[in-house]
Structure 1
Amino acid sequence: MLAIALVDRVGSGLWASISVLYFTYVSGLSLAQVGTLAATAGAIGIAGAPLGGRIADRFPLTRVLIAVQLLRALSSLALLTTNDYPLLVAFAAVGGLGDRAASVLTRLYATRIAGPDRVRYQAVQRTVANAGWALGGLAAAAALALGSTAAYQWLLAGDALSFLASALLTLRCAEPPSASRTVTTSKDPAPSTRTPSPWRDRTYLAYVATETVLFLDDSVLKVGLPLWIAHATHAPHGLAPLLLVLNNVMVVALQVPLARFGTSTVAARALLLPLAAAFALAGVAMALSATGGTITATLLLTAAATAFTLAEILHATVSWELSVSLAPETAQGAYLGVHGLAQSAQRSIGPLAVTAAIATGPAGWSVFGLGIALTCAIQHRLVRGRLARTALSVPPVTVSEH
């Protein structure tokens, strides 16, 4: 599955780097049309996470993942066949649906195949995925030097081929065990209990709501930092892409080493406190960066990017463990699918949140960082009772003496 993550992310890196340019220069869309297309694909894609998770609880996970990868490949290839706007929106929406489903299915596979080592497995997989994304971005940059329509089309074709290759590689993966698909015989009938649903689980839904806030670091790095640098600081504009490189390097270098601090449920919950501190410090650094000259602003923005990236790494570790430990084993797919809504929702509200912080000025960033820190504290308290009940629900082991 690690090889699949690498191939998948290389293809995604090819397309993500040039998608807006493709629709502008190859398809001839206006700025408003490109924005509407991206928003529509993102909105429809939100349904991919719960839908994919639900299906994976009922059918073999590897087969579902293969089907999703083929769907993504077809949607990418379909984009090459037309410049008609309604069709482009439809094909991009199907691709968005597949992307979010694939993300949840990959996490579910790691959860089932790695068992107690799921956090370390996820950390290694995320490191490989980030490396693949960087390779795809570098390849796209080299191809764009040609500046031709054919170069854009080949990059999109490369994205589609990466999904086809991922599907073929998935054929070689073993099907992980699944409690939700355990077969019972008539001699040992299953109890007539209703399958747990995350939509009726208020604690889990509240947890997912707090997760939406904790994923905001993504919008800060991709939207907030570049805009803040350009409009409110004396730092050079070229610092923005360098800080994204710093983010990628830190994730590749630190995700696996830091994952060892969250390999148990208790440890993962405890990480929410240093996570809160990282968010608070990052917000303060962003606020102070507007008050100094070029060198001071550059140093403070670098410190802010470092803190937000550290928060991203810590939150990934916490999220991998808590999202699974709070879910019943018989409905992991459905629960992780609903958890996937947090990241999808953040992609919609995140840009609005960071632009609101920018519009408010330095004080806005301080409030932004402290607000996320408070959410960490809320989540820390929210999951305490649920995890305690989970621990108590483990049946005791009786040892008899002979």
Structure 2
Amino acid sequence: MEAKPRAADRPPRIPGGHDGRRMLLVTFLDRIGSGLWAAVSVLYFTYVSGLSIAQVGTLAAVSGAIGIAGAPLGGRIADRFPLTRVLIALQLLRALASFALLTTDHYPLLLAFSAVGSLGDRAASVLTKLYATRIAGPDRVRYQAVNRTASNAGWALGGLAAAAALTLGTTAAYRWLLAGDGLSFITVALLTLTCAEPPSTTRIAATAGDTPHSRPQTGPWRDRTYLAYVATEMVLFLDDTVFKIGLPLWIAHSQGVPHGLAPLLLVLNSVMVVAHQVPLARYGTTTAAARKLLAPLSAAFALGGIAMALSATGGTVQAVCLLTTSAIAFTLAEMIHATVSWELSVALAPDTALGAYLGVHGLAQSAQRSMGPLVVTAAIATGPLGWTAFGTAIALTCAIQHRLVRDRLRLSPLSVPPVTVSEH
């Protein structure tokens, strides 16, 4: 008889079973489409729609501001209605917004369609995290890490396709990339139809040995410490705007730096996350461990800002090397922050209102999409000094969050039992 493989020799188990794996496929396909568009959106609005730097920054800021409502709205709806059905509706809304952008170059309409897409995107992001939290239970950190790996694998494929399309440099190529984004949303909406509805948060709490009355019953809008934590998260999520707005615009307006470097750095970002997000997740599987990661996170943000600043001080080769270094540093920051954020956002929230709390936490990412473009374009306009200040300010915010979370855990029994990453 063939020997039974030892547990250590078996491939890691994916939390969530069949539906967990199917939702990973949803994430993968979704991000392929998003990677097509994110890699070229700034260039599309610049070269196809003819917008200025200020208009591109304003468009991203306004659409992001409107999208802020998507996170808490999505969280509230998900506590009351079937989660999968809400996700399907949001994916179709995103598809309509993408296709609508193809119909016009009129600035007010571009603003409106981008805002609708942002609203659906932010709500879908929160609900995807809630789905993972419900279906994976105590293995949520590992599932989120695997989900992020699938996400970035999709981003990498989309980014490579975008880089290839940029070699053509035609308006048609840009438009096909945007159409591909819309088609991906339709595909994932159909696939989500086959996913089962996950258990409610109350059931998860009972299964884990928790009870609905073992945590404070205050709502997220009255929880001042949680709101302060969310405020710091708004700053730490700025790495997202660096890759979507900062690097492409900085490259587009830097002499001697090839425009094709922008999507390639996005691909580098995705490849790094695919390779390292799951291994890094094991260092943040408890609330205390996640809080300790805020120190290296601070250093990564500072290094990214300094490298961006120095990229303007030399020739083409030096600029490319420093921009690549900055992309690596900000990617490392992104992975560390993802691990920290997954644990703390759930650990600091009561199980009986998890959807509402995660919806409020989703405001952090939504708000940075609004303020982020303005902050990043201000850093670009200020030059090297602006990028140095940018990295330093985020690094200091890490220290503030470290103190905030420590004080919360000292004063409240809110933290969850230690979560062990499953390696079965």
Q: Which category of TM-score, normalised to the shorter sequence, fits these structures?
A: 0.7 to 0.9
Q: 1:205 to 1:285 in 2, by over 3 A?
A: same
Cα distance in 2, alignment partners of residues 46 and 152 from structure 1: 27
The alignment-based identity, stated in percent, is 77
Cα distance in 2, alignment partners of residues 92 and 240 from structure 1: 21
Report the AA paired with residue 305 of structure 1.
Answer: A
2:339 matched to 1:317? yes
Q: 1:75 to 1:356 in 2, by over 3 A?
A: closer
Select the residue among 154, 159, 167 that pairs with 2:181: 159
The residue aligned with 1:303 is: 325
2:360 matched to 1:338? yes
2:297 matched to 1:275? yes
Q: 1:109 to 1:393 in 2, by over 3 A?
A: closer
Are the counterparts in 2 of residues 23 and 29 from structure 1 also a CA contact under 8 Å? yes
Cα distance per residue 1:171-213 (max 9 Å; x no partner): 222222223589xxxxxxx99x996321111111111111111
Deviation of the 1:305 alpha carbon: 2.5
Cα distance in 1, alignment partners of residues 110 and 391 from structure 2: 38
Report the AA paired with residue 147 of structure 1.
Answer: T
2:143 matched to 1:121? yes
Counterpart secondary structure, 1:255: helix
Deviates more, 1:251-260 or 1:231-240: 231-240
2:94 matched to 1:56? no
Cα distance in 1, alignment partners of residues 252 and 161 from structure 2: 27
Please, what is the CA RMSD of the aligned residues?
3.6
Report the AA paired with residue 138 of structure 2.
Answer: P
Report the AA paired with residue 232 of structure 2.
Answer: T
Cα distance per residue 1:364-393 (max 9 Å; x no partner): 444332322221111011011323455478
Report the AA paired with residue 212 of structure 1.
Answer: M
Deviates more, 1:105-114 or 1:90-99: 90-99
Deviation of the 1:302 alpha carbon: 3.2
Question: Counterparts of 1:135-150 in structure 2 under 5 Å?
Answer: 135-142=157-164, 145=168, 147=170, 149=172
The residue aligned with 1:257 is: 279
The residue aligned with 1:399 is: none
The residue aligned with 2:207 is: none
Q: 1:155 to 1:295 in 2, by over 3 A?
A: closer
Q: 1:65 to 1:390 in 2, by over 3 A?
A: farther
2:398 matched to 1:379? no
Question: Counterparts of 1:2-401 in structure 2 under 5 Å?
Answer: 2-19=24-41, 31=52, 37-79=59-101, 89-142=111-164, 145=168, 147=170, 149=172, 154-179=176-201, 196-226=218-248, 239-291=261-313, 296-391=318-413
Cα distance in 2, alignment partners of residues 333 and 346 from structure 1: 20
Report the AA paired with residue 317 of structure 1.
Answer: T
Report the AA paired with residue 302 of structure 2.
Answer: A
Counterpart secondary structure, 2:269: helix
Are the counterparts in 1 of residues 98 and 182 from structure 2 also a CA contact under 8 Å? yes
Deviation of the 1:231 alpha carbon: 6.6
Q: 1:288 to 1:114 in 2, by over 3 A?
A: same
Deviates more, 1:42-51 or 1:277-286: 277-286
Q: 1:7 to 1:303 in 2, by over 3 A?
A: closer
Q: Count how many residue pairs are aligned between Structure 1 and Structure 2.
A: 387
Q: 1:294 to 1:392 in 2, by over 3 A?
A: closer
Deviation of the 1:58 alpha carbon: 1.3
Q: TM-score with structure 2 length normalisation?
A: 0.78
Q: For structure 2, which runs of at least 5 residues remain unmatched after alignment?
A: 1-22, 205-211, 418-424
The residue aligned with 1:398 is: none
Deviation of the 1:240 alpha carbon: 4.7
The residue aligned with 1:185 is: none
Q: 1:301 to 1:84 in 2, by over 3 A?
A: closer
Q: 1:96 to 1:386 in 2, by over 3 A?
A: same
Are the counterparts in 1 of residues 27 and 150 from structure 2 also a CA contact under 8 Å? yes
Deviation of the 1:311 alpha carbon: 0.9
The residue aligned with 1:187 is: none
Report the AA paired with residue 176 of structure 1.
Answer: P
Deviation of the 1:128 alpha carbon: 1.0
Deviation of the 1:57 alpha carbon: 1.1
Deviation of the 1:90 alpha carbon: 3.8
Are the counterparts in 1 of residues 39 and 266 from structure 2 also a CA contact under 8 Å? no
Cα distance in 2, alignment partners of residues 56 and 202 from structure 1: 23
Structure with bigger gyration radius:
1
Deviates more, 1:65-74 or 1:383-392: 383-392
Q: 1:332 to 1:229 in 2, by over 3 A?
A: same
Are the counterparts in 2 of residues 40 and 93 from structure 1 also a CA contact under 8 Å? yes
Cα distance in 2, alignment partners of residues 320 and 51 from structure 1: 20
Cα distance in 2, alignment partners of residues 258 and 167 from structure 1: 31
Counterpart secondary structure, 1:59: coil
Report the AA paired with residue 333 of structure 1.
Answer: G
Q: 1:136 to 1:378 in 2, by over 3 A?
A: same
